[in-house]
Amino acid sequence: MKRSELVTAASGPAGIDPGALTREQLLGWRCALCGTLLAGDRPLGTVTIGQGPTLTTYPLWACDPTCTTEHAWRAAIGHAAGCEACRTGECATGQRLLDAYTAAFRQEHDGGAG
């Protein structure tokens, strides 16, 4: 199946673009936010992706909260370092990774305050 054949039926949690997720992220092998192989994890929610008349709902998983912020930051910086579109501010993937980092950072700091 080609990426262009995917049609998103519902947007994902935390601003995740379902069409940008890899097979491994959809199957729960890698973090939906940063792409790291999962050891400890937590549920994020679900995304629904359609191909033709078939809709499939996938549960999304993220790194354990103790490592989410670090992995999200590394993923964002690693992507931006080699992406020309990130330098011009026109990269949807880079923005998604930065948004994931921002959400993880806020969650970590809001969770530690209470």
Q: Where is 41: in which H helix or E strand?
A: strand 41-51
Predicted pLDDT of residue 1: 42
List, for residues 36-47, the tens digit of each pLDDT value.
888 778 888 888
| 25 burial type by CB count under 10 A (0-12 exposed, 13-18 middle, 19+ buried) | buried
Predicted pLDDT of residue 3: 45
List, for residues 77-92, the tens digit of each pLDDT value.
888 888 888 888 888 8
Predicted pLDDT of residue 9: 41
For CA atoms 90, 106, 9, 19, the dihedral sign is positive
pTM: 0.54
List, for residues 5-58, the tens digit of each pLDDT value.
444 445 567 677 888 889 999 999 998 877 888 877 888 888 888 888 888 999
